[in-house]
Copies of this chain bind each other. A is one copy, B any other.
């Protein structure tokens, strides 16, 4: 079946699409009511709320697909704020003529990813645009999570002396998508690292409830963007050592061939984390025990120079400022 504009008109065809594909793969009592908003019980306290649209091209790539990263990415954005991710929305913008079987394959992937992350997709929306006015499928997921009492993760909590930890090997998502999109034929076996990190992050916070100060999900713009942003917000310099940053041999070779900086390429299953120096060993040991954190490494520390910047001690021993990439390293990577 091909998607037609009737599937986006809010009438009978829309209902059939929702029941036949979306409820089938990620239904639950809150979503199944199909009301204007889902009603959800929360404890007193704080919630985390986030949104991301996914426009990745192509829709399927080694290690994942748009639906998988749409769930994992939003789960991870909640988790790095110290929240337990609970509920997601999903909104589809579908180009007319899109194959409903492909949509179902993506919905199935979202259902599996939501189950793996322990979240429910509780509200949604479907719009259809004319052929030539979209690009197959765009997905927005927004997410709500609950922040436990005593958990306070924010860039403003970063202190001089904090240890900077990266949870694993970088740039895999960016290279996997690029290889697939441009049929580069790199036979490196590099797969997207898309993964729900909430379980691993909860283990870290349980082990070191007060020592972890801030985390960030490393997506578009990679580690370089995340560090530059956090540095600008927290007001201290960072001292990062390139040779400590985990990058696999396959990724390093591919980046060399393509002229891409692995520090600026996208990830979908990696975080950077700032913690008090006396917690670093504990944090690293918890991360390394988890499959998603086995290559975690301490890569530097927070300096006391007010106003930044991020210094990178390069592999050849020089020191330069690490900046957010100016423009697009790899467009439509997520």
Contact = CB atoms under 8 A, between A and B. Distances in A.
Interface of A: 4-6, 8-15, 33-55, 57, 76-78, 80-81, 83, 87, 89-93, 122-125, 127-130, 132-135, 138, 140, 142-145, 147, 154-156, 216-217, 219-221, 225, 229, 233, 264, 323-329, 331-332
Contacts of A8: 328, 331-332
Contacts of A138: 93, 127, 129, 138
Contacts of A57: 133
Contacts of A229: 15, 34
A36 B133 contact: no
B15 A37 contact: no
A42 B146 CA distance: 10
Contacts of A155: 33, 35
A332 B89 CA distance: 21
Contact of A11 (B44, B77, B147, B326): B326
A328 to B, nearest CB: 4
A98 to B, nearest CB: 13
Given A41-B45, A78-B37, A12 B328 contact: no
Contacts of A80: 36-37
Contact of A46 (B10, B39, B328, B331): B39
Main secondary structure on chain A at its contact with chain B? mixed
A184 B11 CA distance: 25
A154 to B, nearest CB: 7
A6 B330 CA distance: 10
Contacts of A217: 36
Nearest to A9: B328
A6 B36 contact: no
Given A11-B326, A51-B91, A142-B142, 7 more contacts: A4-B327, A5-B331, A14-B221, A15-B324, A51-B90, A54-B127, A91-B142
A144 B143 CA distance: 10
Contacts of A35: 81, 154-155, 216
A140 to B, nearest CB: 4
A11 B134 contact: no
Given A8-B331, A135-B134, A140-B91, A49 B37 contact: yes
A53 B11 contact: no
Nearest to A77: B36
A42 B39 contact: no
A10 B219 contact: yes
A13 B228 CA distance: 13
A143 B10 CA distance: 20
